[in-house]
Structure 1
Amino acid sequence: MKSSYKALLRGLLGLALLGLVLFLADPSRVVAALRQAKPGWVLVGLVLAIASNVASALRWRALARWLGGELSMGDSQRLYFQAMGLNALLPGAVVGGDVYRAMMLRRAGQDTMASTWSVIIDRVSGLWMLCAIGGLGAALSASRLGSELGIDPVLIAALMLTGTTAWLALPWLIPPLLTRWRGLERWLGPLRVAAQRPDFAAQVGLQAVWSAAVQVLSAAALAMGALALGISLSPAAWAFAIAPIFLMAALPVSVGGWGTREAAAVAALAPFGVAPAAAVGAAMIYGLYSLFQGAAGALTLGLPGRPKP
């Protein structure tokens, strides 16, 4: 099957899933919830969503420069929001935008492996922190989750805290693993050199701070969109919910995360008493934040200016 057909199929599957979720949640109730949205909270959520992606671009710039690339602050913002435009318009969730960022750095004369790894590590570090925050949120929400799942809350909290601690420690295993594994030198060589630098620990700490800021801002944006619909949950509940919602939205099986994000929102927010229609509405508002930013980024695709070598 040609790649274009596969992309079309992924897009249709995502839209079909969105239609199914809307049908099960009752479209009339979803529309009613969205009509009652308070514009002020929606606007606050949009500002926070934009701030989250500005922070994401700055995180990527810091990583690219650490790997030996040259990326100005303005170009990092421009390329990042252009990539969001591709993500919003093309099937494949975040994959298309990530490929675009790496390609543009290579076209600007940057080292091919450094360009590729800057995008890969940038994405992985975001997912790493997202899962860590989700685990912490699950531990703090253990009582509610335990009652819904019929599992001892103490056991849930213990497992989540233990797992989250181990998860956060994973980056420190990278240097010894790369030292022992000598294969794929062309791909792993630049990463192995970077991992042996004396400032590796400082860079991991910087990535953790940037990634935490990105996820907190994103969670706040989602919470503000939900608050516009009258959904008020604790920070711990949102810390838990963003992991499945954002992870599902990032799967390369839809256009802009539509469908997968809404399905995850229904499941993640149900333990906290959020009705399916309200959960779908909140997820759709967050999707509109991404669509707005993606459209703005897409408008700059034809503008001149590239990262300078």
Structure 2
Amino acid sequence: MRRTAVIGTLRALSTVVVLGVVVLLLDTDEILGHLAGVEPVWLAAALAAALPHYLFSAVRWRWFTRLFGGDLRLRRAVPEYFLAVFLNQTLPGGVPGDLVRAWRDRRRTRTDEDEGRTAGLGEAGRAVLCERVAGQITLVLVALIGLLLVPGNIRSVLPLWVFPGALAGVALVIFAAMRILRALARRGRRKPQFALEFLRDSRSALFGPRNFVMHQALSLPVVASFLATFWCAGKAIGVTLDPVMAVGVVPVVLMAMTVPITVGGWGVREGAAAGLWAAAGLPASQGVAISVVYGAAILISATPGALVLLRR
């Protein structure tokens, strides 16, 4: 418990440090100037554009849960997803909300069987992990397609670091989740072959031809929601993002948030936006300001998740 608190404190401090470095390296007055002129109408539009991602993500989670033998109902999945995003945005590490999702889904097996159930903690954890990984796969695929369309100066910079970094981020998420699930399995006296079963079942769920098509069909609207939110965030500071650049660059900015060193991806996301905007020949401060508005829109849109804690 003490080690968890220390890690959380370090990540909170790293958030401040990374954001501070980004601000120091750029023109602070320009960033603040962009943020001071935020238009409330477009900020509201960004909030509205963020909402579909909760619905489609919840449907995707429910689909994976059923794939692993559970029966999570949509009326429970949607508020639980709001709660998960709220916790991910406010707690260090980027995955506490997902761990809570798995735990509450398993706990409901014993306490609320009429509302939905899962076959066990392992199945609940597998569904949550696969749901997150499926989303990252879609981001990578969309970014790859978008990079074929963006200007050559961006393509000449990105392949050097973006995709190895994105794959490393996904690997870190999988590795961390595997360790957590194995610890839960030991606590529940599960058999030692739990990890092997997990890898076999998850490989089929994620990369089986029919399953892959299904979860990608559910993931594309989620990515579209993210892109629309980012575009509205740009309009909120008076910038109209080129659609081609948005498709090629924004997924990369979002993939940077998978690096689990800050709270809610703050700082890492802004640093990635600054670098990509500079590579495109645009003001880096503009990319940072849009990223800040985007982060604020996602955080505000997730606040209904706090009501889930109050209700139960």
- For Structure 1 versus Structure 2, the TM-score category normalised by the shorter chain is 0.7 to 0.9
> 1:101 is matched with which residue?
101
* TM-superposition CA deviations, 1:20-51 (whole Å, max 9, x none): 21222222221111122222222211111111
> 1:177 is matched with which residue?
none
Supply the distance in 2 between the matched residues of 1:200 and 1:17 (Cα, whole angstroms). Answer: 39
> 2:220 is matched with which residue?
212
Number of corresponding residues: 271
AA in 1 matched with 2:10: L
115-124 or 184-193, which deviates more? 184-193
> 2:49 is matched with which residue?
48
> 2:172 is matched with which residue?
none
User: Cα offset for 1:196?
Assistant: 6.5
277-286 or 16-25, which deviates more? 16-25
Report percent identity of matched pairs. 27
Structure 1 pair 41/144, CA: closer, same or farther in 2 (3 Å)? farther
User: Cα offset for 1:222?
Assistant: 0.5
* TM-superposition CA deviations, 1:195-229 (whole Å, max 9, x none): 679x9533221101111111111011111101222
* TM-superposition CA deviations, 1:108-135 (whole Å, max 9, x none): 2221221111011101110001011111
Supply the distance in 2 between the matched residues of 1:196 and 1:286 (Cα, whole angstroms). Answer: 34
User: Cα offset for 1:91?
Assistant: 0.8
Supply the distance in 2 between the matched residues of 1:127 and 1:256 (Cα, whole angstroms). Answer: 16
Supply the distance in 2 between the matched residues of 1:240 and 1:299 (Cα, whole angstroms). Answer: 36
Structure 1 pair 6/232, CA: closer, same or farther in 2 (3 Å)? same
> 2:34 is matched with which residue?
33
User: Cα offset for 1:282?
Assistant: 0.4
Q: Counterpart of 2:146 in 1: which secondary structure?
A: helix
List aligned pairs for 1:82-231, cutoff 5 A.
82-93=83-94, 95-109=95-109, 110=118, 111-145=120-154, 149=157, 185-189=193-197, 192=200, 200-231=208-239
Supply the distance in 2 between the matched residues of 1:240 and 1:127 (Cα, whole angstroms). Answer: 15
Q: Counterpart of 2:303 in 1: which secondary structure?
A: helix
> 1:168 is matched with which residue?
none
Supply the distance in 1 between the matched residues of 2:247 and 2:275 (Cα, whole angstroms). Answer: 15
TM-score by length of structure 1 reads 0.80
Counterpart contact for 1:269–1:279, Cα < 8 Å: yes
Q: Counterpart of 2:310 in 1: which secondary structure?
A: coil
**Aligned partner (choices 236, 239, 253) of residue 245 of structure 1:** 253
Supply the distance in 2 between the matched residues of 1:16 and 1:294 (Cα, whole angstroms). Answer: 25
Supply the distance in 2 between the matched residues of 1:194 and 1:25 (Cα, whole angstroms). Answer: 43
User: Cα offset for 1:100?
Assistant: 0.8
Structure 1 pair 63/142, CA: closer, same or farther in 2 (3 Å)? same
> 1:174 is matched with which residue?
none
Supply the distance in 2 between the matched residues of 1:245 and 1:195 (Cα, whole angstroms). Answer: 27
Counterpart contact for 2:84–2:100, Cα < 8 Å: yes
Supply the distance in 2 between the matched residues of 1:196 and 1:231 (Cα, whole angstroms). Answer: 43
> 1:165 is matched with which residue?
none
Structure 1 pair 55/229, CA: closer, same or farther in 2 (3 Å)? same
Q: Which runs of 5+ in 1 are unaligned?
A: 161-182, 305-309
Counterpart contact for 2:11–2:262, Cα < 8 Å: yes
Supply the distance in 1 between the matched residues of 2:10 and 2:203 (Cα, whole angstroms). Answer: 39
User: Cα offset for 1:90?
Assistant: 0.9
> 1:295 is matched with which residue?
303
> 1:71 is matched with which residue?
72
User: Cα offset for 1:281?
Assistant: 0.8
Counterpart contact for 1:25–1:280, Cα < 8 Å: no
**Aligned partner (choices 280, 283, 286) of residue 278 of structure 1:** 286
AA in 2 matched with 1:134: A
List aligned pairs for 1:254-269, cutoff 5 A.
254-269=262-277
Supply the distance in 1 between the matched residues of 2:24 and 2:153 (Cα, whole angstroms). Answer: 27
Supply the distance in 2 between the matched residues of 1:213 and 1:286 (Cα, whole angstroms). Answer: 17
